[in-house]
Amino acid sequence: MSTPQIATVNCATGEQTVRDMTAEEIADQEAFNASVAERQAADEAVATAKAEAKASGDAKLKELGLTDEEIAAR
Amino acid sequence: MAATHELIEVVTASGGSTTYLEFTSIPQTFSNLEAVWSLKLDSYNPTSATLHQMYWRVNGSSTTSVYPNMYRGMFYGTSTALWKYDSSPYYEIQVGLAAANTPNMNCGLLNIYDYTSTDGTGKSIQGMNSCMQYDATSYDRALLVTSGNLNIAEAVTSLKLSAYNDEVIADDSNIRLYGINRSA
């Protein structure tokens, strides 16, 4: 893959430039990518735990005699 | 100053390797900013996107206290579309970049209120977007509203959009930046 590029428009001059990212910008991008991946994994873990708790709770409600419609309406 | 809605500039992806779109030297003469985008990912670079989110940062800041936000909407047929972040190093918009194989670009807009304020609190950032197909392998829909504070004690002078993991934004995708004055 070629070097990532950044398209910038300077609002004061109206000039748009497209250039390769600098080493500093690439380092920033790598740190940014890592932070996104970390948060994505954390979000997915929370969502999975929540879904599992809901499924467990729904199963217990069903054992108590609630219908699927009643469970969904909560 | 009379109420206005004025195009400031347009930034357009070109050259086949754009992962950032950025506005710099934003004029400080309006009340609000409005960014209107039409964006999708490039079909060859990469062939399959990991995430279609768009990530906005102002003034180059990645400070987590700056971008608390929440979103609500619909990812039809998939996971919940309800979340909140008490802190965040960026303002994230889910499915802001349409998949490469979608017939249409993702369309949406972002508003930043009172962007010239230098107070640490008080600025507000709001987005809404829709994408009629966002997954590279199945037909789907995404409809989102995203709301946040913008807690930075500086006027907003630059606005940068990043794709994830060097995913490339398709050429001719663009963001139009408008300035709005509320006062009559």
* DSSP secondary structure, B63-75, as one string: -TTS--EEEEEEE
Give CA–CA dist B94/B104, Å, rounded: 16
Instruction: Supply the pLDDT for residue B140.
Output: 64
Phi, psi dihedral angles at A59 (to 5 degrees)? -65, -40
Give CA–CA dist B143/B129, Å, rounded: 6
Joined tokens for residue A36: 């996104």
CB-closest option in B9, B14, B19 to A14:
B9
How, if at all, do strands B142-150 and B69-75 pair? antiparallel
Phi, psi dihedral angles at B40 (to 5 degrees)? -150, 165
Joined tokens for residue B117: 């304020």
Q: Stretch A1-27: mean pLDDT, rounded?
A: 91
Does the predicted model carry a pTM greater than 0.90? no
For residues A5 and A16, the answer to whether their CB atoms sit within 8 Å is no
Selection from A47-51, A58-62, B49-53, B179-183 with the highest mean pLDDT: A58-62
Q: Assign A65 a pLDDT band (cuts: 50, 70, 90).
A: very high
Instruction: Supply the pLDDT for residue A29.
Output: 85
Give the residue extent of every domain in chain B.
4-142+161-176
A-chain residues near B27 (CB < 8 A): 11-12
Nearest CA distance, A73 vs chain B (angstrom) = 17
Instruction: Supply the pLDDT for residue B152.
Output: 96
- Among residues A70, A64, A37, which one has the least CA distance to residue B167? A37
Percent of chain A scoring above 70 in pLDDT: 99
Of residues A7 and B40, more confidently modeled: A7
- Among residues B55, B4, B1, B30, which one has the least CA distance to residue B166? B55
**Cis upstream peptide for B46 (omega within 30°):** yes
Task: State the alpha helices, DSSP H only, in chain B.
Answer: none
- A7–B89 CB contact, under 8 Å: no
CB-closest option in B18, B25, B26 to A7:
B18
Complex ipTM, two decimals? 0.87
Return averaged pLDDT per consecutive 10 residues of chain B, 184 residues in all. 87 92 97 93 67 88 94 75 89 82 81 95 91 59 89 97 86 95 78
Nearest CA distance, A61 vs chain B (angstrom) = 22
